[in-house]
Amino acid sequence: MEPPDHTNDTDLSAFAYPDGWFVIATADELKPGGVITKPFMGKDVVLYRTKSGLPRAVDPYCPHLGAHLGDGKVEDEDIVCPYHKFAFSPDGRCVRTGCGDKPPQAQLESRHVRDWNGLIAVWQGADGRVPEWELPEFDWAGYSAPIRSVRFLPGSVQNPTENGFDPNHQKPLHGWGNSVAQLQPCDGSHRLDVIARLTLKGLPIIIDVKLHGLGLMAVEVSLERAGLQAKFLVTPAQIAPLKWTYRETMRLRISWLARWPAFARKTIYALLAPAVYHLWYVPQLKQDIRIWERRSFIRYPRAIAVDAPLIAYRRWATQFYPACKTGVAHNGKQPSENREAVHRFADDGERAHAEHPVHFVLPSRTAAKVPVPD
């Protein structure tokens, strides 16, 4: 499979969107009986929650005469079109009309949706493909209350997940110490994990990055000497060509606070978690965002030794773009030229890695179960 063309010169009309689970709202935005509209992969998605609390995600236009269902309302378990008051049940069937006539055999196009960790995730599947994996569950016992934010940015949805597999940027951009990173074995092709060990002002820090497709990056930052862990759920989503949302949820855990009374833990977390988020995390993130906003997502970068995690990530990420098939020319280049370029990227990096293996342990292509373009 070819890597997607997410360069700043890409043909926007043929922009490649990835498959997988993507977060497009928070659960708090979708109250029982509520209806909201969200941009997602070049079109609108209408989210609504039935009176019993069931979340639903549907395409925006009523099959009767095309009114936008984002202007509709929820009546008990049904969403009702604002135009002629056609009502549709949670399974998408038209169950009644506003004039009393027999409802037509009409069906709303719906998406698989999950109410997950205080967020609303929807499934994007080319050609109607059903979900191929489920979102992971997390044990939040002992963690602080979540802090959430969303940012709207230009460029590719791959920016944050690729960032997690580029530990070499930590020192020149963020001023952290040298890093050593290692891929971790994973079950399932939608998973890719890496652990990086760095230093900050002489203190050792472990960054454990776990990807679940391109829409969820779970990052655990551990400062073991202080017994402190910050866990982030980073949930990017492409909303339009070269436009994406960066959503994050941060929770904090301090191991020695487990011995303290509940009210004391709550008070300390209420003070400390916002401080860590605003005084440490946000300044770090802004440094990355300044790069993301102006970079072009080069499809075939010329790799060096320390780019080994990035090589693995780029190979793995292509599987989520079913539209980027071998045999389709991109930007005037023939498929043979594109294949040659992507193999040059991989071969250059692996050759350089062989000369400097201390930076990163890269499993073989077979062992890593990372797809390589034909």
Question: Residue 336: pLDDT band by 50, 70, 90 thresholds?
Answer: very low
Q: What's the CATH number where 290 sits?
A: 3.90.380.10
Residue 127 forms part of a structural domain = no
CA separation for the pair 87, 96 (Å, rounded): 5
Q: Same structural domain for residues 244 and 314? A: yes
For the stretch 299-330, pLDDT in tens is 998 988 888 889 999 999 999 998 775 434 34
For the stretch 264-311, pLDDT in tens is 999 999 999 999 999 999 999 999 999 999 999 999 989 888 888 899
Is the confidence at residue 363, as pLDDT, over 60? no
Give the model's pLDDT for residue 104.
Answer: 93
Question: Residue 351: pLDDT band by 50, 70, 90 thresholds?
Answer: low
Range picked from 61-65, 98-102, 363-367 for highest mean pLDDT: 61-65
Domain C-terminal end among 115, 150, 176:
115
Q: What is the mean pLDDT of residues 254-259?
A: 91
Q: In what order do the strands lie in the sheet with 119-124?
A: 20-26, 119-124, 113-116
Is the confidence at residue 107, as pLDDT, over 60? yes
Question: Residue 202: pLDDT band by 50, 70, 90 thresholds?
Answer: confident
Q: Same structural domain for residues 75 and 153? A: no
Domain C-terminal end among 66, 90, 115:
115
Residue 26 forms part of a structural domain = no
Residue 161 forms part of a structural domain = yes
Q: Same structural domain for residues 96 and 213? A: no
Percent of the chain with pLDDT over 70: 86
CA separation for the pair 129, 327 (Å, rounded): 22
Residue 120 forms part of a structural domain = no
Q: Same structural domain for residues 310 and 364? A: yes
Residue 300 forms part of a structural domain = yes
Q: Same structural domain for residues 141 and 4? A: yes
Q: Same structural domain for residues 81 and 205? A: no
Q: Same structural domain for residues 290 and 225? A: yes
Residue from 20, 11, 8 nearest 321 by CA? 20
Q: Same structural domain for residues 335 and 271? A: yes
Q: What's the CATH number where 40 sits?
A: 2.102.10.10
**Structure tokens that stand for 135 in this block:** 């979102």
Residues 6+ apart with CB under 8 A from 262: none
Question: Residue 183: pLDDT band by 50, 70, 90 thresholds?
Answer: confident
Q: What b/e readout covers 96-112, taking b as 16+ CB neighbours within 10 angstroms?
A: bbeeeeeeeeeebebbe
The secondary structure of 118-168, three-state, reads CEEEEEECHHHCCCCCCCCCCCCCCCCCCEEEEEEEECCCHHHHHHHCCHH
Give the model's pLDDT for residue 126.
Answer: 86
Give the model's pLDDT for residue 199.
Answer: 85
CA separation for the pair 159, 149 (Å, rounded): 17
Q: What is the mean pLDDT of residues 173-183?
A: 83
User: How many domains does the chain divide into?
Assistant: 2
Is the confidence at residue 359, as pLDDT, over 80? no
SS3 352: helix
Is the confidence at residue 109, as pLDDT, over 60? yes
CB 21 within 8 A of CB 216: yes
Q: Same structural domain for residues 96 and 154? A: no
Task: State which residues form the domain around 101.
Answer: 31-115
CA separation for the pair 167, 181 (Å, rounded): 7
For the stretch 54-76, pLDDT in tens is 999 999 999 999 999 999 999 99
Q: Same structural domain for residues 279 and 161? A: yes
Give the model's pLDDT for residue 162.
Answer: 95
Give the model's pLDDT for residue 306.
Answer: 84
Give the model's pLDDT for residue 347.
Answer: 56
Question: Residue 369: pLDDT band by 50, 70, 90 thresholds?
Answer: very low
> The pTM is what?
0.87
Give the model's pLDDT for residue 331.
Answer: 41
Q: Same structural domain for residues 170 and 283? A: yes
Residue 349 forms part of a structural domain = yes
